[in-house]
C-alpha cells in the first residue's frame, strides 16, 4: 500500500523534465492547463445529473452532431486554461468551427488540437469518457491562421489524454516517454503512478464495434476474425478509454472505413494523431490501413481517418491481412 505523498507530483515531474529545457520549455504550463481543466471537469462529470449538466444544449456542432452540455463546458474549460497558460498560441477543437488564437508573442510557443470530451454517447450513462490533446510547436516563421494547425502528427512535440473513469488518469507523452498520473480526489493533484509505459507483449484484448461487420470489406472481416482467436473483445464506445486499457493491458483498437463511414469515423487531427503519438512512443503503432497515420499531411481541420492503433505486431497483422485479402 502506498500513499499519494510517496509519488512524484505532476508539477514536480514537469518542472524537472520540461521547464527551461531547450526543446520543451513552457510545455509544463500547457500540461498544467490540461491538468487544471481535467480537475474542474472531473468535479462536474462526477456530479452527473445532480447539477442538471447532462443532456444536450439543443445546438448542433460543426460536425453536424448534437452538442451535449458537457461537450460545450469541456471545450470552454480547456480553451480558458490554454489562454491562461500564456504558452499556447492557438487551439483547434472538435466543438469549434474555427481555431481560437490567444497570442503571437515569443512566449506563445505551442499549438494545441483537442477533443475536449471524447465518448459523448456515454456521458449520461456513467461510463468512462475522456479528453484528448495533440501539442505542436508553432512554426514562428509563419503567421497564425487556420493553416497553422494543419501539421502532420509526426511533428507533434507531445500529446496527452485524460480518462474520467473509475479513477481519473492523465497520460502525458513526449519523445521516448509515456507517463501516467492519477488524480488524488482529496487534493485534486495528479501523482505519477506509471512511468515509461510500453505496450506489453501480450495482447489479451481487441476493440472493435462488431455491429459494423456487415459494412466492412472482406479484408477487415478476416482481420477481425483473426483477432477473435484467443482474445476477449472489449469495446467501451469511448476511444480514449479503450485506448488506455489496450496500452496498459495489451491490445489493439480499430475503427476502419466501412460502407457508412467511407473514410472512417474518427478525427485525424485531435483523436488519431495525439493517441497515435502516444502509441508510437510506447512501442506501438498507428495506421489507416495503408500508412502510418502520423505521416499524413492534413488538408482539413476536421477530416476523418480510418484508425488501427495499438500493439505494433497486431497493427501490422491487420494491415497485412487487408492487403492480401
Ligand atoms: P460507434 C465516441 O462518439 C467516438 O467518437 C469514440 O470515442 C468511440 O470510439 C466511437 O465514437 C464509437 O463509435 O460508431 O462504435 O458508436
Looking at per-residue confidence, does 98 or 252 come out higher? 252
Q: List where CATH 3.30.540.10 sits in the chain.
A: 4-194
Is residue 214's pLDDT more than 80?
Answer: yes
Q: Measured from the CA of 121, which atom of ligand 1 is nearest?
A: 3
How far is 213 from 224, CA to CA, in rounded Å? 9
Alpha carbon separation from 152 to 31, 123, 226 (Å, rounded)? 21, 30, 31
Supply the pLDDT for residue 66.
Answer: 78
The architecture (CATH level 2) of 205-324 comes to 3-Layer(aba) Sandwich (3.40)
Ligand 1 mutation target, pool 216, 265, 275, 310, most atoms within 8 A of CB? 265
How far is 270 from 268, CA to CA, in rounded Å? 6
CATH of 4-194, one of 3.30.70.20, 3.30.540.10, 3.40.30.10, 3.30.70.380: 3.30.540.10
**Residues in the ligand 1 pocket, defined by CB under 6 Å:** 118-121, 209, 237-239, 265
Mean pLDDT to the nearest integer, 173-185: 97
Q: Please tell me the distance between residue 238's alpha carbon and the centre of ligand 1 in angstroms.
A: 6
Residue-wise pLDDT for 27-60, tens only, equals 999 999 999 999 999 999 988 778 777 778 888 8
Instruction: Tell me which residue has cell 452538442.
Output: 67
Do 54 and 44 contact (CB within 8 A), yes or no? no
Mean per-residue pLDDT of the chain:
94
Say whether 113 sits in a helix, a strand or coil. strand
Q: Measured from the CA of 130, which atom of ligand 1 is nearest?
A: 7
Q: State how beta strands 110-118 and 88-93 pair.
A: parallel
Q: State how beta strands 66-68 and 232-233 pair.
A: unpaired
Segment among 3-17, 157-171, 224-238, 290-304 with least mean pLDDT: 3-17
Is residue 4's pLDDT more than 80?
Answer: no
Residue-wise pLDDT for 108-131, tens only, equals 999 999 999 999 889 889 999 999
Q: Which of 133, 21, 22, 123 is nearest to 77 (CA)?
A: 133
Q: Measured from the CA of 266, which atom of ligand 1 is nearest?
A: 5
User: In the structure, what pLDDT confidence band is assigned to residue 171 with cuts at 50, 70 and 90?
Assistant: very high
Question: Residue 300 corresponds to which cell in the numbers above?
Answer: 482539413
Q: Measured from the CA of 119, which atom of ligand 1 is nearest?
A: 2
The closest residue, in CA terms, to atom 16 on ligand 1 is 237
What's CA 43's distance to the chain center, in Å? 20
How far is 265 from 305, CA to CA, in rounded Å? 7
Residue-wise pLDDT for 262-305, tens only, equals 999 999 999 999 999 999 999 999 999 999 999 999 999 999 99
Q: List where CATH 3.40.190.80 sits in the chain.
A: 205-324
The closest residue, in CA terms, to atom 3 on ligand 1 is 119
Amino acid at each position: 500500500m502506498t500513499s499519494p505523498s510517496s509519488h512524484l507530483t505532476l508539477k514536480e515531474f514537469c518542472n524537472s523534465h520540461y521547464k527551461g529545457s531547450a526543446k520543451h520549455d513552457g510545455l509544463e504550463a500547457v500540461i498544467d492547463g490540461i491538468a487544471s481543466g481535467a480537475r474542474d471537469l472531473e468535479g462536474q462529470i462526477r456530479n452527473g445529473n445532480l447539477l442538471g449538466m447532462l443532456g444536450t444544449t439543443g445546438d448542433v456542432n460543426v460536425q453536424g452532431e448534437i452538442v451535449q452540455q458537457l461537450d460545450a463546458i469541456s471545450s470552454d474549460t480547456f480553451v480558458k486554461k490554454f489562454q491562461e497558460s500564456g504558452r499556447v498560441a492557438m487551439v483547434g477543437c472538435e466543438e469549434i468551427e474555427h481555431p481560437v488564437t490567444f497570442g503571437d508573442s515569443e512566449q506563445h510557443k505551442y499549438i494545441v488540437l483537442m477533443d475536449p470530451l471524447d465518448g459523448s454517447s456515454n456521458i449520461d450513462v456513467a461510463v468512462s469518457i475522456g479528453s484528448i490533446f495533440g501539442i505542436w510547436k508553432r512554426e514562428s516563421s509563419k503567421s497564425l491562421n487556420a493553416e497553422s494547425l494543419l501539421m502532420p502528427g509526426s511533428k507533434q512535440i507531445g500529446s496527452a489524454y485524460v480518462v474520467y473513469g473509475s479513477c481519473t488518469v492523465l497520460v502525458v507523452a513526449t519523445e521516448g516517454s509515456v507517463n501516467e498520473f492519477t488524480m488524488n480526489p482529496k487534493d485534486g493533484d495528479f501523482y505519477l503512478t506509471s512511468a515509461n509505459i510500453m505496450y506489453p507483449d501480450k495482447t489479451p484484448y481487441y476493440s472493435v464495434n462488431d455491429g459494423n461487420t456487415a459494412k466492412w470489406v472482406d479484408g477487415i472481416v478476416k482481420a477481425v476474425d483473426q483477432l477473435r482467436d484467443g482474445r476477449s473483445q472489449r469495446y467501451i464506445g469511448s476511444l480514449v478509454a479503450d485506448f488506455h486499457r489496450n496500452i496498459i493491458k495489451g491490445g489493439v483498437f480499430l475503427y476502419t472505413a466501412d460502407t457508412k463511414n467511407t473514410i472512417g469515423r474518427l478525427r485525424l487531427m485531435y483523436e488519431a494523431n495525439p493517441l497515435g503519438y502516444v502509441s508510437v512512443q510506447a512501442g506501438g503503432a498507428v495506421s489507416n490501413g495503408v500508412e502510418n497515420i502520423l505521416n499524413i499531411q492534413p488538408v482539413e481541420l476536421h477530416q476523418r481517418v480510418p484508425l488501427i492503433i495499438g500493439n505494433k505486431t497486431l497493427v501490422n497483422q491487420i494491415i497485412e491481412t487487408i492487403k492480401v485479402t
